[in-house]
């Protein structure tokens, strides 16, 4: 693929596509899977959990918007941190983000599989998901669970779409996101219409009294926020494709704000209806099937084609997990592409394919790790992603402050209002949530912490191995001494902190 590295990504995505990437990632499996968990921990105050998480992430959203407008480079938080931190710090940030997106991809793929099986079961094609057996591989004599096979298939198909066309992957994201948001709007409309019906499953405000659980009270909100924060990870994915968006200095900030605001509204409406119809205890008892059970309780049972409310939500869950998975396939590969272009991964990661115009190698490498992550326990994968995203958001808020101090005259088409209050609040609140999550994981999921620390340790080994390799390559170059002398005499134009 000679000469591929000289190409730049083509700007094939519009404002709508960029917005849908953010919404597609945020309104994913989280709203279906995490609503019951939030209700189990904080009772009816689950509504407040999602509202407050929206506020917390909005402060970081402002930082992403300013940085994206000022630094229109693909790579998301890594590209911003690379501007103001030293090589090791920026590498760890990129390595951590890359892993978080890939692990989230495995999580979404695992969420897609049971929902897809349930959808097939609704229409009588397969038995209930728990009764579906293993699948025999055609080449090697190995049987793997049907859910794992479906998860890997979903990853594989979306990787192919992303590898051959950025425009196609953006179009898939836009169409699927519009479909799933429409389904959730229908769910909310039927739920609110059931108010005053007098039935046991009609919407009633009595299900919100008392708002907080008797035992834990308002203190239950913090751990619930930490565990459900991943539901708001997504708007940051928009900045990973900055160079592939038309007029990025203007469209990226707009896409961030629109996607975040729309997602918060959808989340609050869905959680309010779910708690208002099932009650917090019923929603918690239903677990991952909470939203579907709520829909079954108040939606018609004689709908054409899609039959009943539960089927509608299962249908929406399939679209939600696919769009979230597609979004992180896009994002993970762009972080790896940006790191390769900056020389912090192998150079081939930073190449653009001569025919497809996509970061082909970065997409394939991300897919390999994503497929491997399907074997991880679902809870641990979600916890690892939440932790890494919280840590990365802290660093991005620090980056916007450092960049303001070091380059005050830099062109900033969008500036954070009331600076520096929002980034400081972002740092403080994300740090609190990260601390609460770590304390919770120490008690309940030490595997997630061990794997997180292990990934960072592997990253440091990779970093220093690449540094050593590059050093040896420079030593074998005939003109390396002269080039080094010239570099020593030249003025230092690197504005990163050394």
Q: What is the pLDDT of residues 357-368, one digit of tens each?
A: 788 888 888 888
Average of pLDDT values for 420-441? 90
Of 99-113, 234-248, 479-493, least confident by mean pLDDT is: 479-493
Q: What CA–CA distance (Å, rounded) separates 156 from 150?
A: 10
Structure-token pair, residue 116 = 């897809």
Element (H, E) at 118: helix 87-122
For the cut 50, the answer to whether the pLDDT of residue 5 exceeds it is no
- The total number of structural domains in the chain stands at 1
Q: What is the pLDDT of residue 383?
A: 81
For the cut 80, the answer to whether the pLDDT of residue 498 exceeds it is no
CB distance 251 to 22 below 8 Å: no
Is 37 domain-assigned? yes
> Of 57-61, 146-150, 275-279, 469-473, which has the strongest mean pLDDT?
57-61
Q: What is the pLDDT of residue 448?
A: 86
Cis peptide before 275, with omega less than 30 degrees from 0?
no
- Domain range for 175: 4-436
CB distance 230 to 385 below 8 Å: yes
Average of pLDDT values for 261-280? 89
For the cut 80, the answer to whether the pLDDT of residue 460 exceeds it is yes
Per-residue pLDDT tens for 376-403? 776 777 788 888 888 999 999 999 999 9
Residue recorded with tokens 């309010």: 272
Per-residue pLDDT tens for 164-210? 776 777 777 788 888 888 888 888 888 888 876 655 667 788 888 87
Is 112 domain-assigned? yes
- Please give the DSSP secondary-structure letter assigned to residue 220: G
End-to-end CA distance of the chain: 34
Q: What CA–CA distance (Å, rounded) separates 185 from 313?
A: 11
CB distance 361 to 332 below 8 Å: no
Mean pLDDT of the chain: 81
Average of pLDDT values for 404-415? 92
Q: What CA–CA distance (Å, rounded) separates 380 from 454?
A: 14
Structure-token pair, residue 445 = 């999921």
> pLDDT-derived band of residue 306, with 50, 70 and 90 as boundaries?
low
Residue recorded with tokens 């019951």: 36
Radius of gyration (Cα) for the chain, nearest Å?
23
Is 59 domain-assigned? yes
For the cut 60, the answer to whether the pLDDT of residue 231 exceeds it is yes
Q: What CA–CA distance (Å, rounded) separates 477 from 331?
A: 35
Close Cβ partners of 492 (under 8 Å, ≥ 6 residues apart): none
- Please give the DSSP secondary-structure letter assigned to residue 447: H
Q: What CA–CA distance (Å, rounded) separates 423 from 92?
A: 21
Percentage of the chain beyond pLDDT 90 is 17
Of 178-182, 318-322, 438-442, least confident by mean pLDDT is: 318-322
Structure-token pair, residue 375 = 């074997």
> pLDDT-derived band of residue 433, with 50, 70 and 90 as boundaries?
confident
For the cut 90, the answer to whether the pLDDT of residue 240 exceeds it is no
For the cut 80, the answer to whether the pLDDT of residue 405 exceeds it is yes
Is 371 domain-assigned? yes
Q: How far is CA 432 from CA 216, 223, 261, 429, 453, in A?
A: 18, 10, 23, 5, 19
Q: Which tops the pLDDT comparison, 236 or 62? A: 62
Is 475 domain-assigned? no
Is 88 domain-assigned? yes
Q: What CA–CA distance (Å, rounded) separates 27 from 406?
A: 37
> Of 146-160, 173-187, 276-290, 409-423, which has the strongest mean pLDDT?
409-423
CB distance 362 to 388 below 8 Å: no
Q: What CA–CA distance (Å, rounded) separates 348 from 343?
A: 10
Is 240 domain-assigned? yes
For the cut 50, the answer to whether the pLDDT of residue 480 exceeds it is no
For the cut 50, the answer to whether the pLDDT of residue 408 exceeds it is yes
> pLDDT-derived band of residue 489, with 50, 70 and 90 as boundaries?
very low
Q: What is the CATH number of the domain that holds 425?
A: 1.20.1740.10
Per-residue pLDDT tens for 17-67? 889 888 888 887 677 777 888 888 888 888 999 999 888 889 999 999 999
Is 96 domain-assigned? yes
Q: What is the pLDDT of residue 149?
A: 80
């Amino acid at each position: 693929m000679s000469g591929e590295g000289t190409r730049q990504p083509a700007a094939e995505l519009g404002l709508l596509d960029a917005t849908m990437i953010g919404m597609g990632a945020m309104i994913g499996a989280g709203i279906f899977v995490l609503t019951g968990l939030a209700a189990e921990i904080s009772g009816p105050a689950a509504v407040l959990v999602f509202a407050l998480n929206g506020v917390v992430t909005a402060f970081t959203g402002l930082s992403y918007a300013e940085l994206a407008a000022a630094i229109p480079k693909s790579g998301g938080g890594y590209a911003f941190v690379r501007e103001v931190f030293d090589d090791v710090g920026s590498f760890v940030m990129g390595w951590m983000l890359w892993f978080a997106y890939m692990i989230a991809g495995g999580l979404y793929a695992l969420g897609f599989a049971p929902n897809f099986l349930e959808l097939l079961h609704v229409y009588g094609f397969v038995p209930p998901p728990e009764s579906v057996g293993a699948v025999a591989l055609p080449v090697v004599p190995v049987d793997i669970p049907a859910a794992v096979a479906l998860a890997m298939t979903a990853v594989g198909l979306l990787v192919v779409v992303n590898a051959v066309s950025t425009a196609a992957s953006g179009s898939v994201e836009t169409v699927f996101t519009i479909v799933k948001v429409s389904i959730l709007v229908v769910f909310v409309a039927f739920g609110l219409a059931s108010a005053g019906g007098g039935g046991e499953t009609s919407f009633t405000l009595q299900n919100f009294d008392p708002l907080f659980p008797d035992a834990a009270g308002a203190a239950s909100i913090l751990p619930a926020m930490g565990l459900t924060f991943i539901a708001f990870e997504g708007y940051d994915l928009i900045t990973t494709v900055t160079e592939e968006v038309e007029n990025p200095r203007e469209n990226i900030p707009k896409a961030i704000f629109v996607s975040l605001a729309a997602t918060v509204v959808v989340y609050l409406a869905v959680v309010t209806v779910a708690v208002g119809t099932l009650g917090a205890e019923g929603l918690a008892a239903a677990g991952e099937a909470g939203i579907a059970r709520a829909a079954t309780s108040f939606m018609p049972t004689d709908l054409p084609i899609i039959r009943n409310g539960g089927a509608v939500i299962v249908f929406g869950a399939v679209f939600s997990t696919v769009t979230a998975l597609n979004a992180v396939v896009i994002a993970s590969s762009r972080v790896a592409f940006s790191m390769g272009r900056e020389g912090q991964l192998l150079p081939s990661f930073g190449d653009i394919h001569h025919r497809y115009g996509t970061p082909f190698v970065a997409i394939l490498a991300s897919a390999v790790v994503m497929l491997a992550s399907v074997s991880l326990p679902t809870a641990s994968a979600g916890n690892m992603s939440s932790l890494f995203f919280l840590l990365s958001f802290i660093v991005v808020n620090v980056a916007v402050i450092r960049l303001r101090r070091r380059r005050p005259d830099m062109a900033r088409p969008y500036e954070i209002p009331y600076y520096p209050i929002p980034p400081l609040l972002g740092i403080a609140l994300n740090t609190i949530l990260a601390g609460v999550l770590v304390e919770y994981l120490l008690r309940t999921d030490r595997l997630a912490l061990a794997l997180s620390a292990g990934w960072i340790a592997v990253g440091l080994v990779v970093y220093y191995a690449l540094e050593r390799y590059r050093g040896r390559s420079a030593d074998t170059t005939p003109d390396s001494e002269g080039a080094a002398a010239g570099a020593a005499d030249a003025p230092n134009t690197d504005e990163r902190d050394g």
